[in-house]
Structure 1
Amino acid sequence: MTAFLLSQIIIGFAAFFDLLSFQFKERKKIIICFVFAVILIAIHFALLEQWTAAGLMALAAVRYITSLFTTSKQMVVLFSISSLVVTYFTYSGFISLISCTASLFQNAAAFSKEDKQLRQFMILATSCWIVHNIIIGSPTAVLLELLFITSNLVGYYRYYVKTPKEVAEA
C-alpha cells in the first residue's frame, strides 16, 4: 500500500469525528471530536510529507486538549505564536502560509467561549484547509473538509438560524 493510499484511508476515519463534532451543541463534545480528528489528519499530512500541515495538526491536538480546560485569550496568543514557529521551521512556500492561516483561525475557534463563535471561526479555517488540500492534491481531504463545513453549517442553522418555534418542533 502506498503512503498516498494510506493517507486517504486515514483521512476517511478523521471524517467520522469531524462530521460528528458539529452535531453536538455542547462545546466540550465538539472539542473532543476535534482532538481525535486532528490526530488522524496530522498522520495523513505526514504521510504526504506536508510537514507544516502535519506539525500544525499535531499542535492542534494539544491546543484542543488545552481548550477543554480554559478559554483564556492568552492561550490564543500562545498557540498563535506556536503556529507561527511551526510554520517558520517547516516552511515550504505558499502552501505553508495557507495552512498557518487556517491554524490561526482554529486557535481563535478553540478558545471561543461560545459554540456560535467557535463555528464561525471554523468556517473560515475550513475554507483555508479546502484550498490547501486542493493544492496538495488530496481528494479525500478536500471531501473531508467539504463534509466538515457542511456539518458545521447544518449545526449552525439548527442552533442559530431557525426560529425558536422551528427548533421546538424539530
Structure 2
Amino acid sequence: MLEHFLGHFWGQLFGFISFSLGIASFWQTDDRRLKLIMVLLNICNTIHYAFFAAFTSMVSSLLSTFRTALSMRTRSGWVAFLFIVSNLTLGLYIAQSWSDLWPVFGMCIGTYALFRLKGLTMRFVFLIGSGCWLINNIIVGSIGGTMLEIMMLLINLSTMFRIFKARQATVHDSQ
C-alpha cells in the first residue's frame, strides 16, 4: 500500500514538473527553444508515466524525447516516418485497450508537426496532439499531466495569437 502511494506521489510530482516545463515550452515564440524545452518535458513525462505504469504513454514519451531532439537537426520526412511507424508498432504491441492508444495518436501527430511544419501551422497541429494527450492524462489519472495539456492548449493558442498579430503588424508596417 505504501509503495503504491509513493509511486503515485512521485508520478504526480513528475507530472507537475512536466506541467511547468510545458508552460515554458509553449510560451516560446522561437521554434528551437520550444523544441529544446520539449526534450526536457518529454524526459519528465517518460518518468511520470513509468510511475503510473502507463507503459504505452511511457514509450510514446520516450520516443518523443528522441524525436524532438532529432527534429532540431533535421526536417526529414523519412525520419518522421520512422518515428511514426516505430510508435505505432510499439504502441499497438503494448496497448491493452483502445484507450491506451491516445498517446500513440498524440505522438504521431506531434511528430508530423515537428518534422514537417513550422510556425503557426506547427502550433495548430500541436493543438490536436495536445487534445489526444489530454484525453490520455484524464484516463491515466495524472493531475499534473491534465493541467499540462489544458495549459499547453491555452498557452499555445495565446502564442499563436501573438505570432499572428506580429505578422500582421509586419505586413501593415511594410505597406
Shared fold (TM-score greater than 0.5)?
yes
Q: Secondary structure at the match of 1:19?
A: helix
Write the letter of the residue equivalent to 2:74.
Answer: T
Which of 78, 82, 85 is residue 78 of structure 1 equivalent to? 82
> What runs of 5+ residues in structure 1 fail to find an aligned partner?
none
* 1:123-160: CA deviation from partner (whole Å, max 9, x where unpaired): 00000111111112222211111111111111001111
Q: Superposition RMSD on alpha carbons, in Å?
A: 1.8
Q: CA deviation at 1:161?
A: 4.7
Q: CA deviation at 1:89?
A: 2.5
Do structure 1's residue 164 and structure 2's residue 133 form an aligned pair? no
Preserved CA contact (<8 Å) 2:38 2:68: yes
4+ residue runs of structure 1 moved beyond 4 angstroms? none
* 1:87-130: CA deviation from partner (whole Å, max 9, x where unpaired): 02311111222111111111111113422222011100000111
**Structure showing greater Rg:** 2
* 1:29-81: CA deviation from partner (whole Å, max 9, x where unpaired): 11001000011011111100000000010010000111010011112211110
TM, length-normalised to structure 1: 0.91
Q: Which has the higher contact order (CA 8 A, sep 6+)?
A: 2
Preserved CA contact (<8 Å) 2:103 2:133: yes
> What is the aligned partner in structure 1 of residue 102 from structure 2?
98
Write the letter of the residue equivalent to 1:94.
Answer: W
> What runs of 5+ residues in structure 2 fail to find an aligned partner?
none
> What is the aligned partner in structure 1 of residue 41 from structure 2?
37
TM, length-normalised to structure 2: 0.89
Write the letter of the residue equivalent to 2:12.
Answer: Q
Q: Secondary structure at the match of 1:2?
A: helix
Q: Count the aligned residue pairs.
A: 167
Write the letter of the residue equivalent to 2:91.
Answer: T
Q: CA deviation at 1:24?
A: 1.8
> What is the aligned partner in structure 2 of residue 118 from structure 1?
122
